[in-house]
Structure 1
Amino acid sequence: MQSFIGKTSEEIRIYLSAHQLLHALEEQIRFPLMPLPDNFTAPTRTPWGGTKILGKYKQGLSIRAEKHYPIVGESWEISADPAAPCQFYFVLETETILVDLIQLLDLFPEAILGEKVAAQFEGQNPILVKLLDAADHLSVQVHPSDSYKGLGPDESGKPESWYILEADPGCGLFFGLKEGVSEAELRQAIEHRKDVSQYLNFVEVKPGDFFVIAAGTIHAIGAGVTLIEPQKIAPKKSGRTYRIWDWNRLYDKRGNLNSEGKPRELHIEDSLRVIDFDAPRGEAFIRHIQPERQIVQQYGESVETLCMETEDFGVRQLVLQNGQTLSGDCSSGFHGLIVYEGELDIRSQKNTLARVKCGQSAILPAALQTYELKSPHARAIKVYYPIQYL
């Protein structure tokens, strides 16, 4: 196998051209692209992670030995973030190559993204999708907008959304400030190591719930919740997270809770500058972040439902039943699929192009143009960039 991880796109182009393989790769990226299913964050970075991603959602998939972590908090399913771009194997004649999504987009931006999306986002995918499993509370945090002056040259804002896959009884999410909480009160609570969650709204969640988390929203995913997280990302930049409070936890160097350990780094000043203290509070805020849904396609029991569509990204839920098909057109811009139940076939002109199993994801490039999805039973999330905002 020839690994090109860490190589420039020009180095890849020269190598493939010399071995007469560039055309073969160009032909393959016109079909569904299947990232490796084990783009996991190391436990030291996500000590709150659990065992459901490996033990349930990706059970039976081919996971590389070095990725068999004891816990997995995040799987970066569709990612062109330089911190963790998803990777692909391609078999080109007699050679197998390993490349990442950033490299593929550098080589074939319009074929994958579509002409308009590629032009708008410098040839890079503007959407990042993660699968998250929280066995413990995530830190209380906030994401900036792209306009925040405190961002570094390689950082971007990170508006995001959450589609709930499952939640233990009584578990939920923390987000938005309660009525009457001021910046001064929040700062004092942090400095005196008080329980900051008492100043936030808590919502018990269930499978199928969907929330939009705008930049400037203080939030935390609670223990016992598993979800899919689509978010916006700027070209070749990493989305920035400011951690404002971490439940007063201490960790050893391996990421294990330890009363003799050290706290994770906090970003209090940046957080307080970024939090939108003028946003709706209490129940008004909770209603504000749950958009109304709309069925956009239905054939029998197979249904496609619009969850959200903004200038940041679009999210839809797909339910496939009884072999009834749902159709799609990605000619104007790529579609991403994250299958979280069952498995589905991606078809074109009645031919099966790929089978996507539970725990796998797929990028449907613009060059594919149109497709059908078919399954006796499957559920998936579809992400895309809404062309009307270009």
Structure 2
Amino acid sequence: MEAIFLEPYFRTKLWGGRKLETLFNYQIPDGKVGEAWIISGYRDDASHVINGKFKGMSLRDLYQKHPELFANPEEQEFPLLVKYLDANDNLSVQVHPDDEYAAIHENDSGKTESWYVLQADPGSYLIYGHHAKSRQELADMIHEGRWDDLLRKVPVKKGDFFYVPAGTIHALTKGIVVIETQQSSDVTYRLYDYDRVDKATGQKRELHTQKSIDVTTVPHKNPQLDIRKEKCGDATITMLLNKPVSPHFYLAKIDLDGEVKFTMNWPYQLFSVISGSGKLCLPDKEYDLKLGDNFILPAGSYDFTFSGKISMITSAPIKE
């Protein structure tokens, strides 16, 4: 029984910065690095295993060639994607399609996502939802460029959590770092980009106006979250997402000061260390854990123990 540790895949972005280097001690490329895909099986952007007998394999290949590690799933593609995002500038205002629309128009899955805020400068806010009452009003406000009237601005601080179902207009803004857990999809419809010009091309970035209008949920609805905290050993578990709110993935935060023992209750489970350090003990293996580590515990019937002073985000797929 081995934990599967993964190496992040980094992406430079127009709005990126250097905080992923300072916050997580990652060796990031030069330039504006906006994203670290820390647990990814997505096509050519997959993470790679850095330990054990599968060292060097991409998560995509591992998932397809060793399905027994993932409880022999029916789907051929790893269903979840976990990222760190460093918004050194405003991201474009976006909306994502659901599974049905994405399958027809993009040959991909839909994209429902979530954000746990790791850092936010004073006065930070998110774009989250809109004020249009009908699809026609939405289209009119978009075509007329009435962005201040259309877009909802929500204040944000460290420790906040946002669930972003497909169809939700959204954007991170300058000064925010999040860990994002989402469906494994890279389908993004860009609705508004502040009329910025990409210096690399000298052109404004492409907008997807009609597709954005097609897929946006109207009127906007805030998800009714059921966030709960419970004690388990020396840990506090904050349950962020589960059914029926989230049909795609379970999500929780573990804050530990001491020791906690768990029994594997999911087909497999994803973990990202967001602060502190500690140890992971499996039935026949022990691992040191540090800030920035990302790993998967594979399928099986076994107990595992964490110890130390450490905080982690954990997720697992939900089968409908």
TM-score by length of 1: 0.75
- Residue aligning to 2:34: 73
- Residues in 2 aligned to 1:344 and 1:244: alpha-carbon distance in whole angstroms: 42
Bigger shift: 365-374 or 154-163? Answer: 365-374
- Residues in 1 aligned to 2:217 and 2:51: alpha-carbon distance in whole angstroms: 45
Amino acid at match of 1:271: S
Instruction: Describe the SS at the equivalent of 1:35.
Output: strand
Query: 1:244, 1:267 within 8 Å by CA — same for their partners in 2?
Result: yes
Shift of residue 125, structure 1, vs aligned partner: 2.4
- Residue aligning to 1:307: 240
Spell out the pairing of 1:133-152 with structure 2 (5 A cutoff): 133-148=86-101, 151-152=104-105
- Residue aligning to 2:260: 326
Instruction: Describe the SS at the equivalent of 2:277.
Output: strand
Instruction: Describe the SS at the equivalent of 1:40.
Output: strand
Count residues with an aligned counterpart. Answer: 317
Amino acid at match of 1:208: G
2:182 counterpart of 1:231: yes
Give CA deviations for 1:287-317 in whole Å, capped at 9, x if unaligned: x35x1312244324x2112111132100000
Spell out the pairing of 1:255-294 with structure 2 (5 A cutoff): 261-280=202-221, 285=222, 288=223, 291-294=225-228
Instruction: Describe the SS at the equivalent of 2:64.
Output: helix
- Residue aligning to 1:40: 10
Aligned residue among 300, 303, 306 for 1:373: 306
- Residues in 2 aligned to 1:340 and 1:127: alpha-carbon distance in whole angstroms: 18
- Residue aligning to 1:199: 150
Query: 1:303, 1:326 within 8 Å by CA — same for their partners in 2?
Result: no
2:195 counterpart of 1:242: no
Shift of residue 330, structure 1, vs aligned partner: 2.7
- Residues in 1 aligned to 2:7 and 2:240: alpha-carbon distance in whole angstroms: 27
- Residues in 2 aligned to 1:313 and 1:150: alpha-carbon distance in whole angstroms: 19
- Residues in 2 aligned to 1:210 and 1:149: alpha-carbon distance in whole angstroms: 26
Aligned residue among 325, 330, 345 for 2:279: 345
2:23 counterpart of 1:56: yes
- Residues in 2 aligned to 1:110 and 1:91: alpha-carbon distance in whole angstroms: 16
Instruction: Describe the SS at the equivalent of 1:99.
Output: coil
Aligned residue among 175, 178, 187 for 2:139: 187
Amino acid at match of 1:72: V
Shift of residue 332, structure 1, vs aligned partner: 3.9
- Residue aligning to 2:315: 383
Shift of residue 114, structure 1, vs aligned partner: 1.8
Instruction: Describe the SS at the equivalent of 2:43.
Output: coil
Shift of residue 47, structure 1, vs aligned partner: 0.8
Shift of residue 154, structure 1, vs aligned partner: 3.4
Bigger shift: 83-92 or 209-218? Answer: 83-92
- Residue aligning to 2:232: 298
Please list every run of 5 or more consecutive structure 2 residues that lacks an aligned counterpart in the other structure.
none
Shift of residue 135, structure 1, vs aligned partner: 0.8
Shift of residue 132, structure 1, vs aligned partner: 0.6
Aligned residue among 117, 121, 129 for 2:82: 129
The structure with the greater share of residues assigned to strand is 2
Aligned residue among 104, 108, 126 for 1:155: 108
CA RMSD of aligned residues (A): 2.3
2:47 counterpart of 1:86: yes
Shift of residue 174, structure 1, vs aligned partner: 0.7
Percent of residue pairs bearing the same amino acid type? 30
- Residues in 2 aligned to 1:266 and 1:100: alpha-carbon distance in whole angstroms: 32
Give CA deviations for 1:205-259 in whole Å, capped at 9, x if unaligned: 11211111111111111111111111123xxxx33110011011112117xxxxx
- Residue aligning to 1:166: 119
Please list every run of 5 or more consecutive structure 1 residues that lacks an aligned counterpart in the other structure.
1-29, 255-260
Give CA deviations for 1:108-131 in whole Å, capped at 9, x if unaligned: 1122x124xx13x23x42111111
Query: 1:172, 1:224 within 8 Å by CA — same for their partners in 2?
Result: no
- Residues in 2 aligned to 1:91 and 1:31: alpha-carbon distance in whole angstroms: 7
Amino acid at match of 1:76: W
- Residues in 1 aligned to 2:156 and 2:52: alpha-carbon distance in whole angstroms: 43
Shift of residue 196, structure 1, vs aligned partner: 1.9
Distance 1:271 1:296, change over 3 A: same
- Residues in 1 aligned to 2:198 and 2:190: alpha-carbon distance in whole angstroms: 15
Aligned residue among 253, 276, 285 for 1:317: 253
Amino acid at match of 1:220: A
The structure with the greater share of residues assigned to helix is 1
- Residues in 1 aligned to 2:204 and 2:142: alpha-carbon distance in whole angstroms: 13
Distance 1:132 1:149, change over 3 A: closer
Shift of residue 150, structure 1, vs aligned partner: 7.1
